[in-house]
Amino acid sequence: MAKIGIMGGTFNPIHNGHLYIARAAYEEYKLDKVHFMPNHIPAYKSKAEMVSAADRMNMVKLAIKPYPDYVLDTMEIDRGGKTYTADTLRILHANEDGNQYSFIIGADSLETFTRWYHPQEILSYADLLVATREDADEALLNRMIHHTEETLQVAGKIHMIRCRNMASKTNTAWIASSQIRKCIALGEEVEPISGQPIRDIIPEAVYDYIKDYHLYTG
């Protein structure tokens, strides 16, 4: 039985924050693999600035290439249609592969988790690993975790990932992909919130791919 972490998302584009959080989950919960699983059509996000599935998969491939325990999982892309985590985990469970799954999210996503599609079903198939920076209020996040578990009538299914040293990484790990897209569209080489060069916020190979294929430039 393998312990598999799943990083879902549009990865539009993938950035260093995704890689930092995956590494923290991998190390803290002793995962065997982390599957990066791009959405086909995200259920809760606009498609207006979405580049093609092929481009997003290519960027993920480039970003995770240095990490042998990271895997591009095209399951949701291949399935097509709107993407719901509950559906994905239900299919994985039906395969009876014996793996133990954890779904990795950021603390901001926990705030809305009870409004996701079939959240109780998600937690019946996988634990939820919630990433937080070391400078965040852990007591507050613990209260959020307990409140979510009480609301959904589950216990011991949601866990905190303590992303140590993340605050010292210039906070680039917590910049949204939408902010990166905005900077690229405006031709800005420095992200104004963190003051960091865009090429330091995303993997170098991904940065080059975006430039070579003129992504997010309108």
Can you give the pLDDT at residue 46?
62
The pLDDT assigned to 78 comes to: 96
* DSSP strand pairing (82-83 vs 41-42): parallel
Distance CA 27, CA 78 (A): 29
Asked whether the beta carbons of 2 and 99 are under 8 A apart, the reply is yes
Tell me the C-alpha distance between 108 and 132, whole Å: 9
Q: Look at residue 168 in the predicted model and tell me its pLDDT.
A: 46
pLDDT given at position 162: 85
Distance between CA atoms of residues 11 and 60, nearest Å: 7
Contact 5, 37 (CB under 8 A): no
181 to 51, 77, 115, 202: CA distances (angstroms): 11, 21, 27, 11
One pLDDT digit (tens) per residue for the chain, 218 residues: 899 999 999 999 999 999 999 999 999 999 999 999 999 987 766 666 799 999 999 999 999 999 999 999 999 999 999 989 999 999 999 998 899 999 999 988 999 999 999 999 999 999 999 998 777 788 999 999 999 999 999 999 999 998 876 544 445 556 789 999 999 999 999 888 878 899 999 999 999 999 999 999 97
| pLDDT for the residue 170 | 43
- Please give the class, per CATH, of domain 3-170: alpha beta
Q: pLDDT value at position 191?
A: 87
> What pLDDT score was predicted for residue 169?
46
The pLDDT value recorded for residue 210 is 97
| Burial category of 88 from C-beta neighbours within 10 Å (exposed 0-12, middle 13-18, buried 19 and up) | buried
Q: Which of 213, 208, 177, 190 is nearest to 49 (CA)?
A: 177
